Structure 1
Amino acid sequence: MSVQVSFLPDEVTVEAEAGEPLLQVAERAGVKIPTGCLMGSCHACEVEVVGGETICACISSVPENTSHLTIDVYVDPTW
């Protein structure tokens, strides 16, 4: 199933497949999400799902049963 993934604040949208790793989708869209441990422990890759929760992008994938996903990429200046 195809999902439109939008990244804020740059307002970049890319098509992705359900289950595709979120970092891979961001990279393909040209969006840089900072990473650290790549295991979800350090929280360097935290992003906010608009209308939802804060997730670690390194261990998250595009969810099923949705046609559009908006991710707010905020960067912690200490990373």
Structure 2
Amino acid sequence: MKETKNTKVIWPNNKETFVSDGDNWFSSAKKAGLEIPSGCLTGSCGACEIDVNGVTVRACISEIKNNKKCTLRVSLTTDPFWEK
């Protein structure tokens, strides 16, 4: 049985995509034409932090979860260290 992409994500560039629980943040962002910054890919550095409905998650160690089946609004966090 094919899994349905049933959760809408609104990205910072105002593009909307549909995802499923367990999908990867990086590949989902790429489908929306965005690149989530990355650093260590182990969750230590925080370069990949994104805000999902106001909650900060580290994309490299988190997969998409949406128990409430509501729209997820994503914003990219900015860190002056990584902006240099």
User: Which residue does the alignment assign to 1:76?
Assistant: 79
Structure 2 CA distance for aligned equivalents of residues 50 and 17 of structure 1: 16
Structure 2 CA distance for aligned equivalents of residues 38 and 63 of structure 1: 19
User: Which residue does the alignment assign to 1:41?
Assistant: 44
User: Which residue does the alignment assign to 1:7?
Assistant: 11
Q: Does 1:23 align with 2:26?
A: yes
TM-score between both structures, scaled by the size of structure 1? 0.83
More strand by share: 1
Q: Which runs of 5+ in 1 are unaligned?
A: none
| Stretches of 4+ aligned residues off by more than 4 angstroms | none
TM-score between both structures, scaled by the size of structure 2? 0.79
How many positions carry a matched residue from both structures?
77
After superposition, give the CA deviation of every residue in 1:41-64 in whole Å (9 maximum; x if it has no partner): 11000111124x211011111114
Identity, in percent, stands at: 36
Q: Which runs of 5+ in 2 are unaligned?
A: none
* 1:77 Cα offset (Å): 4.0
The CA RMSD measured in Å over matched residues stands at: 1.5
